[in-house]
């Protein structure tokens, strides 16, 4: 059967794919957007607790991880949070800043998906879902894609099928297989923005499941000051999710349990409340159960007055740099994103086109660019999708 012809085929109708298809379609290109899921934009729908944290006003290249930290600069500079906010405002979607520059819909993430579908419709994009993408072939300057039992062909192909985080939502490693098929390299994918698990001695901290506290979490040079949450498997909460993207298996993680306390606060407590125990002093700044567990671990029994200044200084230093050695993560099943992916070394940072295969593009999470928690990953999806959409 002859293949139906388009100017461009975009594989994956998620954030990056829909944006890319809409931009290309509105330039007058005939675009086909394909997805194996029964519905477009499933991750957008569940994002931000159903309200979609669609961008971050503090977007800057240093908030993204990649083997090449410069790669994201070009696309991010050419399609900014202000550009996406302008689009959201054109659609009359109400939004608010929750915290740390994170913008969420007041209503529902469904509004963002409806907006992107409308943008696709304005560009005459042919959107098709719910069939498996089969063989992808390349020859005579055209890409040929099998979708269900139909064949489509186009001179441009965009890989926008995301990464393997949350497989039960239709996420897959398809982007990597396709990239390898065309000779592109893939930086080892790993779960990121993911809860960490504890074993060994640290397993005792699991007893604190449900306790949350502000901390500063550090791994190497990266540090995040936000809430941490103890879980029945280990550690979660925004500070931990953020640091998980920087943490590598086998490495320790340092937690400052008193990020807001003035240096020397424990010695000051000895002067001000000599009769208090360490447990009571900790209880003044930390949740009760955590104070008890940390005081037990530090083991300085009796009143503060009975402790040497040296011991109290050591205790404070330990509380400022409590070292955990996570034994793993909760894996792709719980990871908000995938770090690693299609190597940026083989892509143009201007257009997202493969350097070695003309008119093959990769955008969004499929690429080795991973944002911090808080709307950065969608901003990358929009920006990289637009970069390719403008040239296909
Ligand atoms: P995305 O995953 O959105 O889309 C890929 C598409 O390809 C999907 O529609 C999928 O069905 C399709 N596909 C996959 N394999 C295929 C195959 N073999 N054949 C055909 N189609 C295939 N980010 C953020 O900035 N703010 C937030 O609030 C959140 N919240 C959030 C919550 C949760 C629970 C998760 C899991 C993730 C987030 N994220 C987020 C991250 C964000 O969702 C993610 O970075 C973007 O959706 C990535 O966009 P892409 O378009 O690259 O992939």
Per-residue burial over 244-272, b = 16 or more CB atoms within 10 Å of its CB, e = otherwise: bbbbeeeeebbbbbbbebeeebbeebbee
Ligand 1 binding pocket includes 37 (Cβ within 6 Å): yes
Residue ranges, comma separated, of all CATH 2.40.30.10 domains in the chain are 196-329
Q: Is residue 1 over pLDDT 80? A: no
The distance in angstroms from the start CA to the end CA of the chain is 26
How confident is the model at residue 201, as a pLDDT?
84
How confident is the model at residue 207, as a pLDDT?
87
Ligand 1 binding pocket includes 170 (Cβ within 6 Å): yes
Return the ligand 1 atom nearest residue 51 CA. Answer: 28
| pLDDT band at residue 202 using 50, 70 and 90 as cut-offs | confident
Assign 215 to helix, strand or coil.
strand
Ligand 1 binding pocket includes 46 (Cβ within 6 Å): yes
Which residue's CA is minimally distant from atom 24 of ligand 1?
375
Beta strands 64-65 and 53-56, pairing class:
unpaired
How confident is the model at residue 137, as a pLDDT?
98
Return the ligand 1 atom nearest residue 165 CA. Answer: 36
Query: Ligand 1, from 11, 12, 109: best to mutate by most atoms within 8 Å of Cβ?
Result: 12
Mean pLDDT in residue range 122-131: 98
d(CA 49, CA 62): 26
pLDDT digits (tens, 9 = 90+) for 315-359: 999 999 999 999 999 999 999 999 999 999 999 999 999 999 999
Q: How far does residue 47's CA lie from ligand 1's centre (Å)? A: 9
What is the share, in percent, of the chain residues with pLDDT greater than 90?
96
CATH number for the domain whose boundaries are 196-329: 2.40.30.10
Which residue's CA is minimally distant from atom 36 of ligand 1?
336
Q: How far does residue 203's CA lie from ligand 1's centre (Å)? A: 32
Ligand 1 binding pocket includes 245 (Cβ within 6 Å): no
| pLDDT band at residue 134 using 50, 70 and 90 as cut-offs | very high
Mean pLDDT in residue range 177-199: 97
Q: How far does residue 17's CA lie from ligand 1's centre (Å)? A: 10
Kindly state which CATH superfamily the domain 4-190+337-389 is placed in. Answer: FAD/NAD(P)-binding domain (3.50.50.60)
Average pLDDT across the chain, whole number: 97
Query: Ligand 1, from 377, 379, 384: best to mutate by most atoms within 8 Å of Cβ?
Result: 377
How confident is the model at residue 129, as a pLDDT?
98
Q: How far does residue 162's CA lie from ligand 1's centre (Å)? A: 6
Ligand 1 binding pocket includes 164 (Cβ within 6 Å): no
Q: Is residue 308 over pLDDT 80? A: yes
Ligand 1 binding pocket includes 56 (Cβ within 6 Å): no
Ligand 1 binding pocket includes 365 (Cβ within 6 Å): yes
Ligand 1 binding pocket includes 312 (Cβ within 6 Å): no
Per-residue burial over 151-162, b = 16 or more CB atoms within 10 Å of its CB, e = otherwise: bbbbbbbbbbbb
| pLDDT band at residue 167 using 50, 70 and 90 as cut-offs | confident
pLDDT digits (tens, 9 = 90+) for 239-294: 999 999 999 999 999 999 999 999 999 999 999 999 999 999 999 999 999 999 99
Q: How far does residue 172's CA lie from ligand 1's centre (Å)? A: 10
The reported pTM is 0.97
Return the ligand 1 atom nearest residue 169 CA. Answer: 11
Which residue's CA is minimally distant from atom 48 of ligand 1?
365
Residues ≥6 apart with Cβ < 8 Å to 167: 332, 333
Q: Is residue 170 over pLDDT 90? A: no
> Closest Cα to residue 191, out of 53, 341, 59, 383?
341
Which residue's CA is minimally distant from atom 53 of ligand 1?
162
> Closest Cα to residue 71, out of 376, 357, 351?
351
Return the ligand 1 atom nearest residue 133 CA. Answer: 19
How confident is the model at residue 338, as a pLDDT?
97
Residue ranges, comma separated, of all CATH 3.50.50.60 domains in the chain are 4-190+337-389
pLDDT digits (tens, 9 = 90+) for 268-283: 999 999 999 999 999 9
Hey, CA dihedral for 174, 179, 180, 182, is it positive or negative? positive
pLDDT digits (tens, 9 = 90+) for 77-126: 999 999 999 999 999 999 999 999 999 999 999 999 999 999 999 999 99
Ligand 1 binding pocket includes 341 (Cβ within 6 Å): no
- ipTM tops 0.85: yes
How buried is residue 240: exposed, middle or buried, by Cβ count under 10 Å (0-12/13-18/19+)? Answer: buried
pLDDT digits (tens, 9 = 90+) for 9-66: 999 999 999 999 999 999 999 999 999 999 999 999 999 999 999 999 999 999 999 9
Element (H, E) at 380: helix 376-389
Ligand 1 binding pocket includes 339 (Cβ within 6 Å): no
> Closest Cα to residue 356, out of 367, 365, 369, 345?
345
Q: Is residue 382 over pLDDT 90? A: yes
């Amino acid at each position: 059967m002859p293949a139906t012809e388009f100017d461009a085929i975009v594989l994956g109708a998620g954030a990056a794919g829909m944006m890319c298809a809409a931009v290309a379609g509105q330039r007058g290109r005939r675009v086909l957007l394909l997805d194996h899921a029964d519905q477009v934009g499933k991750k957008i729908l569940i994002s931000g607790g159903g309200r979609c944290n669609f961008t971050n006003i503090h977007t800057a290249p240093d908030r993204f991880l990649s083997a090449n930290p410069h790669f994201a600069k070009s696309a991010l500079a050419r399609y900014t949070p202000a550009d996406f906010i302008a689009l959201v405002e054109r659609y009359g979607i109400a939004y608010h800043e929750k915290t740390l520059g994170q913008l969420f819909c007041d209503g529902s993430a469904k509004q963002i998906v409806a907006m992107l579908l409308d943008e696709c419709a304005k560009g005459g994009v042919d959107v098709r879902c719910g069939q498996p993408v089969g063989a992808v072939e390349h020859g005579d300057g055209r890409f040929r894609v099998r979708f269900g039992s139909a064949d489509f062909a186009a001179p441009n192909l965009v890989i926008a099928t995301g990464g393997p985080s949350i497989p039960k939502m239709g996420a897959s490693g398809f982007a990597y297989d396709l990239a390898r098929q065309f000779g592109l390299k893939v930086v080892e994918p790993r779960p990121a923005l993911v809860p960490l698990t504890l074993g060994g001695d640290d397993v005792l901290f699991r007893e604190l499941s449900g306790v949350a506290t502000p901390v500063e979490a550090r791994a190497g040079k990266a540090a995040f000051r936000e809430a941490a949450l103890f879980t029945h498997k280990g550690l979660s909460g925004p500070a931990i999710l953020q640091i998980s993207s920087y943490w590598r298996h086998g490495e320790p993680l340092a937690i400052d349990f008193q990020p807001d306390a003035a240096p020397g606060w424990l010695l000051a407590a000895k002067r001000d409340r000599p009769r208090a125990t360490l447990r009571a002093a900790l209880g003044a700044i930390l949740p009760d159960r955590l104070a008890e567990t940390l005081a037990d671990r530090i083991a300085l029994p009796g009143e503060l007055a009975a402790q040497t200044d040296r011991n109290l200084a050591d205790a404070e230093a330990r509380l400022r740099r409590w070292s955990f050695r996570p034994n793993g993560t909760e894996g792709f099943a719980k990871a908000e994103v995938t770090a690693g992916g299609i190597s940026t070394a083989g892509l143009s940072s201007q257009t997202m086109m493969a350097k070695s295969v003309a008119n093959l593009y990769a955008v969004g999470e499929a690429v080795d660019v991973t944002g911090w928690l808080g709307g950065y990953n969608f901003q990358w999806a929009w920006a990289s999708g637009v970069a390719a959409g403008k040239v296909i």
